[in-house]
């Protein structure tokens, strides 16, 4: 187990390092001078150059890479050019929005998707099964940002129950903050819940023909009870795979939803930072995002190996 | 059918929100929407309009300030004297002014602010404003003398702009994140990506303000902006990002739609050094092909005033040159043939992000295709626009709004990105710079406008309108935008 | 039974599947409409006629006109074409690069397999939206960026699926026989394994195709995908969202078109999976796209 753990964590670190290098190099060829952007069209070349010097843009690339990556490793992400604030601080401000959003969406997705999947599997072949599976098909097909807009029109503009977007920070008003995440997390969660319901149902249908279910039935349980007691647990393996992927997706997927609900999340930060050529901020935010995605994958792998020890020898398929 | 349902539900909703907002309407708090979030809050170290839109006249004040019609009012300087040769200004500063950190304001802060902006390592985006200044000197704590190198008719206006605000000489390093000014509102907090909160400054000694608190919320998605206004989450959008949806608000008495003017001349910027645009005939042909009404309707949904030269229609020196080259496709084809392009030609049109450019570009491409000019549309970000179009002049055509007030002088600079290199025009401009009497300035302005129109230096499209949407109970907003800013000092709730 | 006969049989069996029939017919109709738009649309959408904008449905404009006075039906046809092309090329990228990698990883094993798996992990760390942001920042926004970003995401998906499929049959007798007869790993991967996981790949392709169409819509919606004057379903949604209250059909039509195409593709994919190989359901072929 220790060897397995070590291999996984080493792979995780390697992926991150290569990703960091890739991000750094790719963003270095970005057209557009950050200093010129900050000062605008009427600034003199001397002012622009003075600012470039201040920002350290005139140093050679390798020097900038190693000073950056060295800083990142000890938690110093540098100082944002445009906002004159430490990058890590800016990212933290956004993570307290993006991360809860992804978590809420995950919870909603699980709370909607799994019961529906289990229900449909138990009523397999019945009308309610077809109905739910058709709904799930449609759910998968709806673009989440479009669904988000419809939610806003209904619950904010028409009913006035929830804010159209924006975010009140947790310290200012915890419940207002919570409220502003409800619609976005539902918009994010719907397609994921639909996928989850389908996977859950398929997995359950698969195990329901397994021997132990028949044994349980022979012991006097109804088929439904047997599936609930024994099947669900065994069906968790494929579901877990999907959950891992979904969480990774949700972390990145919030970017689009943040746009619809003008939430101050990580995605919003990256968009603005790119348009303002605040490269150090872009790099920091991207590496954090990639860290989150990779870390999710790592955790999924480890959990998977915990549930199914056979996989420790063979790598994830 | 569907539309009727929506209208019906909106009516129900209108009733509901009236009932709800009625309870809060006595509020002394205002929540304004902005499209772009500023990179930071120091107007002396950046060109972003969003900075001024939050801090100008609210957090920071200058010696003078500009009102909604572009007139110069007193501010930190309560009055001033000007010498007969228009070179020496004496400013008498307002009494008992303090910065938001509690320290006293005096003439030394002004000297410090101006010298900082004029210094070699200054990162002021409008350093040019200070170029005419020979010397700034504090006579005593309340009196300030400024000597100019040459007479400048627009000096009092320029020092009223956001770039010339006065900072505290003891506390200016953190202005980007925690601005300290002398204005009626002090900075409270900034939730990055979300909003900036200001509160009335208790020790403000200028004209008292009605609002206690102001929130600027950043909403870039036009669709979300509509929803936020309709749901009452936002009390006003000084520059509403979706002209296409103005009718939603115009037809609804809960809202007040205020259409005003800006200093933004929106032009089809043309590279005058690059063939075939170096040929006057080609530029004239383009001018004959541009249908301004279709562009204003299609790109701005009717909001905007056609212009025929690089001059704002609300300026007292404006003269209408829209009909210099009237819409005439046959004439355009003849001119193109005469220029040696009977079959037309291909060119590129680089478009920055604003919707006037992106939508306008599609319409212009469609119009120019009628005379055989095929435009390839290239969408670019502002940073790229600044580098490729503005700095490197690597472009054929572009669409952009020039928002500086009275900026016709840019045509006298042959290195400006239009690359219009004309000795005669430079002569007109230098004469204008030396003329101080009203009649003379007017005549020269007329002549300059006509000159640019005739030379069809750029395609002159329209003056950008300021399309504001506000809660109907809110008052005291600027209709026009002579400079960038959202002056909160006059704003108040009527209910 | 010869191979050809066996295949015909499968298709007959598949056709009996209701969701497959609906999905296939629906997808083909939309694909045809999209393809026709290459040669012909009811109206020219490159000529804008502002005075004609916001017209309701009529005999000339069956679905009305948009904010530039362009015919909505023609716009939907061209938009669907872009969406299809983006998704198709992105799937091809995944198929052409991911499949060989997965197959070779399975048949060679060792360090090569390790490298492929690490590469997979690395690419998985870049959801399409993140790659799209980086690519757009460098090259500016365009449909091609969307293709590359979605394509990059498809590579590990296909590598994983084909490696998994290959591993499940690699222990079969005929593979061992091939190995004994002196075939090298390369030959085994492409001649013996590939045909046997073809159905797996077809099903995965249909899933990735529908995900690609959704991803294109998402990227275009935030301005990272297709750019005007080109059009795509996602771009149409973006451009008409703010007109929703005044002219709801402009946003509803492209939205419904996206939902319909994705729905039909998924139905077809499900049906194919059930019909071709019921065991595939276990592979968890459905994935999330970024």
pLDDT of A110-142, one tens digit each?
A: 999 989 988 888 888 788 888 888 889 898 899
In whole angstroms, how far apart are CA A231 and each of A98, A116, B92?
34, 15, 85
Residues of chain B contacting A82 with CB distance shorter than 8 Å: 39-40
Q: Does C127 touch chain A (CB under 8 A)?
A: yes
Write the pLDDT tens digit of every residue in B275-287. 899 999 999 999 9
Residues of chain B contacting A31 with CB distance shorter than 8 Å: 383-384, 387-388
Taking Cα atoms as reference points, which of B319, B321, B316 lies closest to residue B292?
B321
Residues of chain C contacting A192 with CB distance shorter than 8 Å: 288
Which is more confidently placed, C26 or A156?
C26
Task: Supply the pLDDT for residue B25.
Answer: 43
- ipTM associated with this complex: 0.79
Name B160's bridge partners. Answer: none
Q: Which chains touch A (3 or more CB pairs under 8 A)?
A: B, C
Do B242 and B314 reside in the same domain of the chain? Answer: no
Which bin fits C110, alpha (ψ -120 to 50), beta or left (φ > 0)? left
Q: Is residue B320 part of a domain?
A: yes
Option in B45, B46, B228 nearest A164 (CB) = B228
Task: Supply the pLDDT for residue C133.
Answer: 82
User: What distance in Å separates residue C127's CA from the closest CA in chain B?
Assistant: 23
Closest residue in chain C to residue A15, using alpha carbons only: C122
Is the CB of A202 less than 8 angstroms away from the CB of C287? no
Residues of chain A contacting B231 with CB distance shorter than 8 Å: 156-157, 160, 163-164
In whole angstroms, how far apart are CA C205 and each of B385, C84, C87, C89?
39, 13, 10, 11
Q: Are B268 and B461 in contact (CB under 8 A)?
A: yes
Do B87 and B99 reside in the same domain of the chain? Answer: yes
Do B75 and B189 reside in the same domain of the chain? Answer: no
Do B483 and B405 reside in the same domain of the chain? Answer: no
Spans of chain B below 70 pLDDT = 1-26
For chain C, how are helix, strand and coil distributed in percent, rounded to 5? 75, 0, 25
Provide the number of structural domains found in chain A. Answer: 2
Q: Is residue A36 part of a domain?
A: yes
Confidence of residue A42 (pLDDT cuts 50, 70, 90): low
Do B326 and B441 reside in the same domain of the chain? Answer: yes
Q: Does C243 touch chain B (CB under 8 A)?
A: yes
Residues of chain A contacting B54 with CB distance shorter than 8 Å: none
Which is more confidently placed, A176 or C35?
C35
Confidence of residue A31 (pLDDT cuts 50, 70, 90): low
Q: Which chains touch B (3 or more CB pairs under 8 A)?
A: A, C
| DSSP code for B415 | T
Task: Supply the pLDDT for residue A166.
Answer: 76
Provide the number of structural domains found in chain B. Answer: 3
Is the CB of C48 less than 8 angstroms away from the CB of B381? no
User: What distance in Å separates residue B133's CA from the closest CA in chain A?
Assistant: 17
Q: Is residue B413 part of a domain?
A: yes
Task: Supply the pLDDT for residue C15.
Answer: 66
Do A183 and A235 reside in the same domain of the chain? Answer: yes
Name B88's bridge partners. Answer: B147
Do A61 and A140 reside in the same domain of the chain? Answer: no
Q: Does B159 touch chain A (CB under 8 A)?
A: no
Q: Are B94 and B76 in contact (CB under 8 A)?
A: yes
Do B371 and B328 reside in the same domain of the chain? Answer: yes
Q: Is residue A82 part of a domain?
A: no
Task: Supply the pLDDT for residue A314.
Answer: 45
Q: Is residue B479 part of a domain?
A: yes
Domain termination residue (choose one: B95, B130, B164): B164
Task: Supply the pLDDT for residue C254.
Answer: 94
Which bin fits C202, alpha (ψ -120 to 50), beta or left (φ > 0)? alpha
Domain termination residue (choose one: A33, A51, A73): A73
Q: Does B378 touch chain A (CB under 8 A)?
A: no
Selected for mutation to probe chain B from C224, C235, C243 (highest B CB count within 10 Å) is: C243
Closest residue in chain B to residue C66, using alpha carbons only: B298
Is the CB of C137 less than 8 angstroms away from the CB of A315? no
Q: List all residues 6 or more positions away from A283 whose beta carbon is below 8 Å from its beta carbon.
A: A20, A23, A24, A27, A68
Do B78 and B132 reside in the same domain of the chain? Answer: yes
Residues of chain B contacting A166 with CB distance shorter than 8 Å: 194-195, 217, 219, 228, 233
Name B259's bridge partners. Answer: B467
Distance CA B185, CA B196 (A): 12
Distance CA B181, CA B165 (A): 9
CATH number at residue B149: 3.90.76.10
Is the CB of B226 less than 8 angstroms away from the CB of C245? yes
Q: Which helix (H) or strand (E) element contains residue A237?
A: helix A232-260
Q: Which two tokens stand for residue A19?
A: 């990703």
Residues in chain B whose Cβ is within 8 Å of chain C? 2-3, 6, 10, 221-223, 225-226, 230, 242, 244-245, 247-248, 294, 297-298, 358-359, 361-363, 365-366, 369, 377-381, 384
User: What distance in Å separates residue B299's CA from the closest CA in chain C?
Assistant: 9
Is the CB of B40 less than 8 angstroms away from the CB of A83? yes
Q: Are B471 and B236 in contact (CB under 8 A)?
A: yes
Domain with residues C19-38+72-289, CATH architecture: Orthogonal Bundle (1.10)
Residues of chain A contacting C263 with CB distance shorter than 8 Å: 137-138, 141
* Per-residue pLDDT tens digits of chain C, which is 290 residues long: 444 555 556 666 666 677 888 899 999 999 999 999 999 989 988 888 888 888 889 988 999 999 899 999 999 999 999 999 999 999 999 999 999 999 988 888 888 888 888 888 788 777 778 888 888 777 777 888 889 989 988 999 899 888 888 887 777 777 777 777 777 777 777 877 888 888 888 888 988 999 899 999 988 888 888 888 889 999 999 888 888 888 888 989 999 999 999 999 988 888 887 777 655 444 443 433 33
Option in B9, B125, B353 nearest A39 (CB) = B125
Q: Is residue A78 part of a domain?
A: no
- Cis bond before residue A267 (omega within 30° of 0): no
Write the pLDDT tens digit of every residue in B334-361. 999 999 999 999 999 999 988 899 999 9
| DSSP code for C71 | B
Taking Cα atoms as reference points, which of B100, B271, B66, B251 lies closest to residue B180?
B100
Task: Supply the pLDDT for residue B417.
Answer: 93
Q: Which chains touch C (3 or more CB pairs under 8 A)?
A: A, B
CATH number at residue B291: 3.10.105.10
Task: Supply the pLDDT for residue C280.
Answer: 47
Q: List all residues 6 or more positions away from B294 whose beta carbon is below 8 Å from its beta carbon.
A: B363, B367, C48, C50, C51
Taking Cα atoms as reference points, which of B480, B483, B408, B402 lies closest to residue B441?
B408
Residue A221 structural domain: 87-316
Q: Is residue A97 part of a domain?
A: yes
Task: Supply the pLDDT for residue A315.
Answer: 43
User: What distance in Å separates residue C2's CA from the closest CA in chain A?
Assistant: 31
Q: Is residue B305 part of a domain?
A: yes
Do A259 and A294 reside in the same domain of the chain? Answer: yes
Q: Does C263 touch chain A (CB under 8 A)?
A: yes
Q: Are B168 and B179 in contact (CB under 8 A)?
A: no
Is the CB of B10 less than 8 angstroms away from the CB of A158? yes
Q: Does C181 touch chain B (CB under 8 A)?
A: no
Q: Is residue A81 part of a domain?
A: no
Task: Supply the pLDDT for residue C131.
Answer: 84
Residues of chain A contacting B177 with CB distance shorter than 8 Å: 83-85
Selected for mutation to probe chain C from B244, B352, B467 (highest C CB count within 10 Å) is: B244
Q: Are B488 and B267 in contact (CB under 8 A)?
A: no
Q: Are strands B374-379 and B346-351 parallel, antiparallel or unpaired?
A: parallel
Do B303 and B374 reside in the same domain of the chain? Answer: yes
- ∠ Cα B348 B350 B356 (to 5°): 125
**Within the 13-72 window of chain A, which residues sit less than 8 Å (CB to CB) from chain C?**
14-16, 18-19, 23, 26-27, 29-31
Task: Supply the pLDDT for residue C288.
Answer: 35
Is the CB of C217 less than 8 angstroms away from the CB of A143? yes
Q: List all residues 6 or more positions away from C230 whose beta carbon is below 8 Å from its beta carbon.
A: C82, C143
Q: Are B46 and B125 in contact (CB under 8 A)?
A: yes
Write the pLDDT tens digit of every residue in B287-334. 999 999 999 999 999 999 999 999 999 888 999 999 999 999 999 999
Q: Does C190 touch chain A (CB under 8 A)?
A: no
Q: Is residue A79 part of a domain?
A: no
Q: Are B128 and A42 in contact (CB under 8 A)?
A: yes
Task: Supply the pLDDT for residue C11.
Answer: 62
Residue B137 structural domain: 60-164
Is the CB of A241 less than 8 angstroms away from the CB of C284? yes
Q: Are C76 and C63 in contact (CB under 8 A)?
A: yes
Q: Is residue B200 part of a domain?
A: yes
Is the CB of C267 less than 8 angstroms away from the CB of A137? yes
Option in C53, C229, C244 nearest B362 (CB) = C229
Do A61 and A103 reside in the same domain of the chain? Answer: no
CATH number at residue B255: 3.40.190.10
Do B300 and B437 reside in the same domain of the chain? Answer: yes
Task: Supply the pLDDT for residue A317.
Answer: 37
Do B300 and B441 reside in the same domain of the chain? Answer: yes
Q: Does A142 touch chain C (CB under 8 A)?
A: yes
């Amino acid at each position: 187990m220790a060897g397995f753990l070590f291999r996984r964590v080493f792979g995780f670190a390697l992926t991150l390092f290569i990703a960091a290098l890739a991000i750094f190099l790719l963003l270095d060829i970005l057209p557009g001078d950050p200093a010129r952007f900050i000062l605008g069209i009427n600034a003199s070349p001397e002012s622009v150059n003075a600012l470039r010097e201040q920002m350290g843009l005139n140093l050679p690339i390798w020097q900038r890479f190693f000073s950056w990556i060295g800083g990142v490793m000890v938690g110093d992400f540098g100082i944002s050019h445009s906002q004159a604030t430490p990058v890590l601080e800016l990212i933290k401000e956004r993570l307290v929005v993006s991360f809860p959003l992804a978590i809420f969406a995950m919870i909603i997705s699980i709370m909607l998707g799994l019961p529906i999947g289990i229900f449909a599997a138990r009523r397999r072949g019945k009308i309610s099964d077809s109905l739910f599976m058709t709904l799930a098909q449609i759910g998968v097909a709806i673009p989440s940002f479009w669904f988000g807009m419809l939610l806003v029109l209904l619950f904010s503009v028409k009913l006035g129950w929830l804010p159209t977007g924006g975010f009140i920070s947790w310290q200012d008003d915890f419940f207002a903050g919570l409220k502003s995440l409800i619609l976005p997390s539902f918009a994010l969660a719907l397609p994921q819940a639909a996928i989850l319901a389908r996977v859950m149902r398929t997995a359950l249908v698969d195990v329901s023909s397994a021997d132990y279910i028949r044994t349980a039935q022979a012991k006097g349980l109804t088929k439904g009870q047997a599936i609930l007691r024994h099947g669900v647990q065994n069906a968790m393996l494929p579901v877990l795979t999907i959950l891992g992927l979904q969480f990774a997706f949700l972390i990145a997927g919030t970017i689009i939803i943040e746009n619809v609900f003008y939430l101050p999340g990580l995605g919003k930060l990256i968009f603005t930072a790119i348009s303002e050529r605040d490269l150090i901020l872009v790099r920091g935010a991207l590496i954090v995002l990639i860290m989150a995605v990779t870390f999710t994958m790592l955790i999924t792998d480890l959990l998977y190996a915990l549930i199914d020890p056979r996989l420790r020898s063979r790598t994830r398929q | 059918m569907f539309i009727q349902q929506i209208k019906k539900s909106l009516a129900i909703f209108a009733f509901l929100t009236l009932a709800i907002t009625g309870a809060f309407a006595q509020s002394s708090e205002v929540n304004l929407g902005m499209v772009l979030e500023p990179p930071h809050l120091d107007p002396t170290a950046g060109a972003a309009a969003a900075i001024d839109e939050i801090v100008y006249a609210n957090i920071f004040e200058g010696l003078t300030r500009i009102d909604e019609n572009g007139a110069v009012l007193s501010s930190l300087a309560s009055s001033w004297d000007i010498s007969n040769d228009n070179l020496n200004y004496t400013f008498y500063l307002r009494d008992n002014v303090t910065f938001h950190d509690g320290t006293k304001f005096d003439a030394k802060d002004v000297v410090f602010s101006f010298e900082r902006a004029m210094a070699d390592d200054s990162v002021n985006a409008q350093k040019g404003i200070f170029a005419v200044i020979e010397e700034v000197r504090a006579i005593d704590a309340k009196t300030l003398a400024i000597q100019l190198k040459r007479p400048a008719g627009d000096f009092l206006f320029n020092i009223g702009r956001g770039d010339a605000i006065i900072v505290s000489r003891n506390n200016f390093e953190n202005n980007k994140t925690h601005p300290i000014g002398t204005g009626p509102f002090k900075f409270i907090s900034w939730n990055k990506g979300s909003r900036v909160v200001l509160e009335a400054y208790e020790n403000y000694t200028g004209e008292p303000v009605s609002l206690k608190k102001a929130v600027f919320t950043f909403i870039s998605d036009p669709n979300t902006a509509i929803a936020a206004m309709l749901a009452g989450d936002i009390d006003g959008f000084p520059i509403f990002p979706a002209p296409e949806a103005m009718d939603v608000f115009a037809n609804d008495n809960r809202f007040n739609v205020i259409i005003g003017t800006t200093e933004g001349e929106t032009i089809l910027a043309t590279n005058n050094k690059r063939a075939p645009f170096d040929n006057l005939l080609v530029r004239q042909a383009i001018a004959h092909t541009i249908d301004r009404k279709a562009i204003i309707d299609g790109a701005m949904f009717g909001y905007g005033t056609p212009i025929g030269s690089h001059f704002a229609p609300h300026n007292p020196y404006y003269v209408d040159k829209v009909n210099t080259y009237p819409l005439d496709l046959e004439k355009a084809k003849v001119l193109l043939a005469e220029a040696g392009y009977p079959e037309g030609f291909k060119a590129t049109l680089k478009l920055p992000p604003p919707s006037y450019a992106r939508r306008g570009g599609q319409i212009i491409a469609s119009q120019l295709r009628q005379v055989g000019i095929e435009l390839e549309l290239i969408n670019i970000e502002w940073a790229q626009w600044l580098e490729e179009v503005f700095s490197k002049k690597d472009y054929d055509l572009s669409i952009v709004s020039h928002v500086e007030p009275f900026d016709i002088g840019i045509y006298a600079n042959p290195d400006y990105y239009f690359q219009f290199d004309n000795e005669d025009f430079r002569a007109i401009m230098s004469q204008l710079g030396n003329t101080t009497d009203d009649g003379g300035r007017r005549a020269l302005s007329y002549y300059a406008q006509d000159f640019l129109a005739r030379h069809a230096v750029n395609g002159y499209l329209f003056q950008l309108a300021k399309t504001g949407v506000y809660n109907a109970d809110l008052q005291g907003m600027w209709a026009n935008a002579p400079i960038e800013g959202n002056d909160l000092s006059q704003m108040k709730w009527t209910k | 039974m010869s191979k050809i006969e066996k295949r015909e049989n499968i298709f007959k069996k598949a056709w009996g599947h209701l969701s497959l029939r609906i999905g296939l017919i629906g997808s083909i109709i939309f694909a045809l409409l999209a393809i026709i738009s290459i040669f012909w649309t009811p109206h020219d959408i490159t000529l804008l006629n502002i005075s004609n904008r916001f017209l309701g449905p009529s005999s000339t404009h069956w679905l009305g006109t948009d904010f530039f006075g362009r015919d909505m039906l023609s716009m939907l046809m061209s938009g669907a074409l872009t969406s299809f092309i983006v998704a198709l090329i992105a799937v091809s990228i995944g198929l052409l690069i991911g499949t060989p990698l997965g197959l070779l990883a399975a048949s060679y094993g060792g360090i090569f397999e390790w490298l492929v798996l690490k590469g997979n992990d690395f690419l998985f760390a870049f959801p399409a939206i993140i790659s799209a942001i980086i690519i757009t920042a460098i090259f500016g926004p365009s449909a091609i960026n969307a293709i590359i970003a979605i394509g990059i995401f498809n590579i590990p998906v296909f590598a994983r699926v084909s490696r998994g499929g290959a591993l499940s049959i690699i222990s079969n007798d005929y593979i061992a026989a091939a190995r004994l007869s002196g075939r090298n790993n390369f030959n085994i991967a492409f001649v013996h394994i590939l045909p046997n996981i073809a159905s797996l790949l077809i099903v995965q392709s249909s899933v990735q195709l529908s995900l690609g169409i959704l991803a294109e819509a998402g990227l275009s919606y935030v301005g990272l995908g297709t750019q005007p004057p080109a059009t795509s379903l996602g771009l149409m949604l973006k451009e008409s969202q703010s007109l929703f209250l005044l002219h709801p059909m402009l946003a509803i039509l492209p939205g419904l078109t996206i939902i319909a195409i994705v729905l039909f593709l998924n139905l077809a994919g499900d049906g194919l999976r059930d019909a071709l190989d019921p065991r595939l359901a276990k592979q968890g072929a459905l994935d999330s796209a970024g």
